[in-house]
Each structure stands twice: as C-alpha cells, then as structure tokens.
Amino acid sequence: MKKLTTWMLALLLSVVSLGLMVSCTNDDDDDDDLGVVPVPGTLTEVSGNITANTTWSAKNQYLLKSYVYVQPGVTLTIEPGTVIKGDQASKGSLFILPGAKIIADGTKEKPIVFTSNQAIGSRRAGDWGGVVILGKAPANKKDFKIEGEEVSVVPGGTTGDAADNSGILRYVRIEFGGIAFQTDKEINGLTLAGVGSGTVIDYVQVSYSGDDAIEWFGGTVNAKHLVSYRTLDDDFDTDYGFSGNVQYGLILRDPAVADQCNCSDSNGFESDNDGTGSADLPQTSAKFANISVFMGSGTVNSKYRSAFRIRRNSAISIYNSTVVGAFPKGGLELEQEATQNNFKTGKSDYRGLAIVNSKAVVSGDTVMLKATDRKNMLGAKEADLKLPANFNVLTGKPGILPQTGSPLLTGGVTLPTGFETNTVMGAFGTTDWTETWTNFDPQNTDYTLK
C-alpha cells in the first residue's frame, strides 16, 4: 500500500509539471523566452583562404590573422551588426579576390564594423591591414598588383567587365587600418582595385587609417555616403583610370596628424592617371559631387599640402563641394601642364566649389574657374557659409547641417547625369545621413565580445 501511494504521488507530480510546461508554451509571446539561457558568442580566428561560401554571424566576432583571401567564385556574407577585428602582429587583412564577392550589408541600426583588436585607449592608426576588394573592371594597367600585398593580380586592361559585381559594402565602418607591410608601404583602410559598377558601396566610414582612407585603382564602381575621419595620408585617392561617380562625402582632418612617410604628403584628394602621368587609357576621369573637406582647429602639420591635389594627367571632376581649412598649399591644385590642359579642353570640370581659409586656386586657369556659370565661391569667408559652430570638432560627433540662410543649401550648379539632383554645396543639405551608423569616438567604444 505504501509503495502504491508513493507511485501515485510521483505520477501526480509529473502531470502537474507537464501542465506547467504546456502553460508556459501556450502563454503570451512575451513569456516565450522564460527559462532560455542565451548562448554566448565566440571569437573565431580566420586565416588563409576562404574556399566555400561562408557566413559570419553577428552573435560572434572574427579575428583576421595575417592575410585572409576570399577565393574566386566564393561569397563571404557578413550579417548586420557583426564585429570583425584585425590582428596587429600578423597584419590581419581581408582580401576579396577577382571573381569573389563580399556581402557586408549592414543597417543604420546595426552597422558592420571592422576594427582594431587593441584595448580601449590603446588603438592607433595602422593597428591592422584593411579591407581590399579586387575586381575585373577596366583599368589603364593590365595584370597589376596593389601596394600593400603585391601578390594577387588585378586583371585590369581596357577589355575588363565594367559591370563586374564584387558584392555589397553598405553601412560599414573600417577603423584603425592602414598597417605598413614594409617601410613606407601601407595598406589603405579600403582599397577598391578594378571594382565594377555592379558593386554597391554606400554608407561607409573609414576612421584613423594609417594610409589613405579609400583608394580606387581603376574600375567603374559608384559610391555614396562616404566618411573619412582623421586619416593620416590622403582621404580619397584615385589612380589607374578610375571612372565612377562618387556623391556625398565628409572628410574631417586632424591638423596635427598627417602622413609620416618620407615619400608623401597629406591631401583631401590625390588623383593621378598613373604614377608617371602617362596618357594610358582609360584615363582617370571619376566625378565627385557633394563633398565636404573640413580641417579641425589648430596648427596644421607641415606634411599637409592641398585639399584637392589633381596631378599626373588626371581628369577627375568635382562639383558642388566645400573646403574649409588652412591647407598649406591651398584648395584646388591642378598640378602640371597635362592636368591643367584636361581642364582647359573640357576633360575635367570644377563647378560649385566653396573654398575658404586656404588659397583657393594653387594652379589652373583662374579665369575659367571664376566664370559666373561655374558658381565657384573662391573668395568667401568662413562666416559667410553659416556652418554650425562645431562643424569641425574632433571630439565627438561634429555639427553637420548648414544653418538657415547658408549659401551652401542652394548655391550649387546642376549636376551631371548619374548623380542625385540637388544644388547643395557640400555633403549635407537638410538631412544628416551620418545619424546612428557612424562613430566619431571609436577609440573609446567597447567592442568586447558579449
């Protein structure tokens, strides 16, 4: 009798327990997670070749060890909110080879972040390599290699695929890249070599790069909503026949910090057809619109040169853009006869430019540049622009939007085909497209794996 009673009691407890479990399962959605223990993320070291389609999850973090190559025919997908770190000792870097793809499609609320593996307070420009995308679009060099790796070959040449698709970089931050792999030879924060117009580059911030923020070697890719923050060398560098359209870009420079390489100086733009100034085709002929180049307050490092240094037979064009900063050489520098002739013959164009606090035009046809229909503001004073008081601060997020009545809001020219229509001079009108996804204090951001 005692054994039966014990058995019946155990059965009753089992039924009650089962009822409670069913009750939890059928309750409101708010109770679905009761009793669920979250699985902690893991740090995964990645090195060598990625040879199969791979997805990196936002719940985990990834540490790039040495050079990591996504092989042709393979797609690397990175979920929104994922943090990828670069190893300093091994010069961790990510290479997307010709024929491979990266799908790094973040969101405004969950950007994808490539950053230093160093602790808060110890991060520096050049802590790791950078992100390098190599495509199959045309360039004025064939089978070329890029500085920073010099192993992988970019097909280039005039017969490349202009519509080549290397994937997506959208809502992505790249911080503290630009490590030197040899003396005076660094990887850029973001390198785009032979990248085609089928690729999406939109909402990308490069901060504290030890070399250029973004460099285009040939290719036809278009880009929008770019931020270059406190870069050491050049912000936007164009070579080897790059011919895409780039619209909306914020460049914010630290006057005390410039390139330390003995072979170079620091500029907002640096543009060449190639290193020798040849006439090789396709010619570097990219078009930039709605760019703001701002220098922070303070004494300017002697390694600085110009806001826009266009040289070596480059034929890039710049529209509806603003420079505010005491660049030692000046604002717009059309260096060497071939570059100046490109402007005189209409291969390049410069309209809707507001340049203050620098000598406006270093070299070039000032009569043409001052033509009324170009709407260039070459003698304006900073106060005339009605920028917010903190437009060039280097602590925290800068002020972005021009104030009511600013000539920057409506003073620009009609943009060429291929750009969003506006007459704004500079990167911003009445909308702050940097909200939420950018970071102007990555040194103190907690990237600890949760």
427 touches 291 (CB < 8 A): yes
* 282 assigned to some structural domain: yes
Q: What is the pLDDT of residue 398?
A: 97
Q: What is the pLDDT of residue 39?
A: 65
Phi, psi of 384 (to 5 degrees): -65, -25
Q: Which residue has the tokens 């202009």?
A: 162
Distance CA 30, CA 392 (A): 46
Vertex 157 angle, CA 268 and 159, to 5°: 125
Residue span of the structural domain in which 404 resides: 43-409
Q: Of the given ranges (89-98, 120-129, 330-339, 354-363), which has the lowest mean pLDDT? A: 354-363
Q: 18 pLDDT band (50/70/90 cuts)?
A: very low
Q: Percent of the chain, pLDDT > 90?
A: 84
Q: What is the pLDDT of residue 235?
A: 98
Q: Which residue has the tokens 């808060």?
A: 120
* 366 assigned to some structural domain: yes
423 touches 412 (CB < 8 A): yes
319 touches 329 (CB < 8 A): no
pLDDT in tens, 223-253: 999 999 999 999 999 999 999 999 999 999 9
Q: By C-alpha distance, which of 379, 426, 378 is closest to 406? A: 426
The DSSP H or E segment spanning 398 is none
User: 158-197 as b/e, with b when 16 or more CB fall inside 10 Å?
Assistant: eebbbebbbbbbbbbbbbbbbbbeeeeebbbbbbbbbbbb
Which 3-state string (H, E, C) describes 343-375? HHCCCCCEEEEEEECCCCEEECCHHHHCCHHHC
Q: What is the pLDDT of residue 37?
A: 52
Q: Which residue has the tokens 């000046």?
A: 330
Q: 12 pLDDT band (50/70/90 cuts)?
A: very low
Structural Rg of the chain based on CA atoms: 26
pLDDT in tens, 349-393: 999 999 998 888 888 788 999 999 999 999 889 999 999 999 999
* 437 assigned to some structural domain: no
Distance CA 406, CA 412 (A): 12
Cα–Cα separations (whole angstroms), residue 172 to 75, 82, 126, 148, 159: 17, 10, 18, 21, 31
Q: What is the pLDDT of residue 365?
A: 82
Instruction: Give me the sign of the Cα torsion angle 47, 77, 201, 445.
Output: negative
- The mean pLDDT of 53-68, rounded to a whole number, is 98
Q: 38 pLDDT band (50/70/90 cuts)?
A: low
262 touches 228 (CB < 8 A): no
Distance CA 128, CA 208 (A): 11
Output the six-digit token pair for 396.
Answer: 């925290």
Q: Where are the beta strands (DSSP E) in 29-135?
A: 43-50, 54-56, 61-70, 75-78, 83-86, 93-96, 101-105, 112-116, 131-134
β-pairing, 142-144 with 154-156? antiparallel
Phi, psi of 409 (to 5 degrees): -75, -25
pTM, two decimals, is: 0.91
Phi, psi of 309 (to 5 degrees): -105, 105
Q: What is the pLDDT of residue 36?
A: 47
* 36 assigned to some structural domain: no
Q: What is the pLDDT of residue 361?
A: 83
pLDDT in tens, 72-100: 999 999 999 999 999 999 999 999 999 99
pLDDT: is 14 or 374 the higher one? 374
Cα–Cα separations (whole angstroms), residue 272 to 216, 218, 249: 11, 11, 20
β-pairing, 180-182 with 185-186? antiparallel
| Position 7 pLDDT exceeds 70 | no
* 315 assigned to some structural domain: yes
Average pLDDT of every residue of the chain: 91
Residue 326 CB neighbour total at 10 angstroms:
16
| Position 16 pLDDT exceeds 90 | no
* 23 assigned to some structural domain: no
Q: What is the pLDDT of residue 89?
A: 97
Q: 299 pLDDT band (50/70/90 cuts)?
A: very high
pLDDT in tens, 180-202: 888 778 899 999 999 999 999 99
* 216 assigned to some structural domain: yes
- The mean pLDDT of 44-65, rounded to a whole number, is 98
Q: Which DSSP category does 15 fall into?
A: H
Q: Which DSSP category does 440 fall into?
A: S
* 303 assigned to some structural domain: yes
Instruction: Count up the domains in the chain and report the number.
Output: 1
pLDDT: is 147 or 342 the higher one? 342
Q: By C-alpha distance, which of 407, 294, 315 is closest to 358? A: 294
Q: Where are the alpha helices (DSSP H) in 37-158?
A: none
| Position 442 pLDDT exceeds 80 | yes
